[in-house]
Homo-oligomer: A and B are copies of this chain.
């Protein structure tokens, strides 16, 4: 017997048929003898409709009221799934964030979880009851107001609840059947990973493998919650209870027996590059550049600064999303006097390729082999950054697929 948290997103509960399918998934686990808490999102489309209502009244609206409005979507799904479970003979009840309570900060619209009382849910398990929890929402203790965790917050709810009830596993049911070595649409030979370490998944998630919110993986890592990513579209009836289901376990690296050197390759196309040329090589220059960007709420991704050749000036390159490019360029140009640079070189059609793997910590030359393989294919590398478990390359977008496939094969990730 295990204690499980099962999380289903909006597309998995989009209509009554799918909610009933979810109920059968839950029944399958209950029949196997497990204690189960389910975390649900709003029905697909419901949240967008509610957000639109708020915006139609006022583009800038009170975030506390926005939270009261949009949290209603998860409230509906939690009640409906509880009813669907009861019709299958499973004792179940819905829990709103304020009922548990799942306490958060008062940053309405993007609140952070501060405390969860797992006791009422655990008491429910003891009574044989499945808890159906409205994801995405909580309560701020002092004001007593409803809060929400921001888009994708149901993943975060699920992992945090799994930590609070000491669950053996948090199963994320989603529209893909696991985490792949890279995007299978680009590399048909991509294969599903059986396991991936939290740190690796963090890099994969933040680099565009949109399986889970980065925040929920951080939370899983902090509290060591084993997260299993699997498909919600499998028919519950077709699942063999005696075989491990298809999916990917995101876990502590100690649970992974032998690490591959490289676990996966992530990439993002919508990047833009800004190179600030001939800035004075002195303390405070980086702050002069990135302070104004931060003030403008522009998220900077790669930052590359090489050691100055002449000890006087240096070049500094960074990337932003294509959507932020014009604003970023304007921001830097406006700060020209404070920064003091010769010129800006920019490029918009660039992609970032990241090679990720805990194994590379103990293997020299992993990056070097990539540079060689890409050079053989005529792919020019514009910039390089590295960290302990990954390195990233900035290249012209036109070469994205070629580069990803080349590296995928190079590191032995192609499926047999």
Contact = CB atoms under 8 A, between A and B. Distances in A.
Contacts of A50: 76
B66 A83 contact: yes
A73 B72 CA distance: 8
A61 B79 CA distance: 10
7 contacts: A16-B53, A61-B86, A61-B87, A67-B79, A68-B75, A69-B80, A72-B76
A84 B64 contact: no
A67 B93 CA distance: 12
Interface majority SS (helix, strand, loop, mixed), chain A: helix
Given A65-B94, A76-B72, A80-B69, A87 B144 contact: no
A66 B79 contact: yes
A76 to B, nearest CB: 5
- Residue among A20, A50, A66, A69 facing the most chain B CB atoms (10 A cut-off): A69
A56 interface: yes
Contact of A83 (B19, B61, B73, B145): B61
B53 A65 contact: no
B98 A83 contact: no
A76 B50 CA distance: 8
A99 interface: yes
Nearest to A72: B72
Interface of A: 16, 19-20, 50, 53-54, 56-58, 61-62, 64-69, 71-73, 75-76, 78-80, 82-84, 86-87, 93-94, 96, 98-99, 144-146
A86 B68 contact: no
Given A65-B93, A65-B94, A83 B57 contact: yes
A73 to B, nearest CB: 8
Contacts of A99: 144-145
A144 B364 CA distance: 59
Contacts of A53: 16, 76, 80
- Residue among A57, A58, A99 facing the most chain B CB atoms (10 A cut-off): A57
Contacts of A76: 50, 53, 69, 72
A265 to B, nearest CB: 43
A45 to B, nearest CB: 13
A62 B86 contact: yes
B16 A56 contact: yes
Contacts of A75: 68-69, 71-72, 75
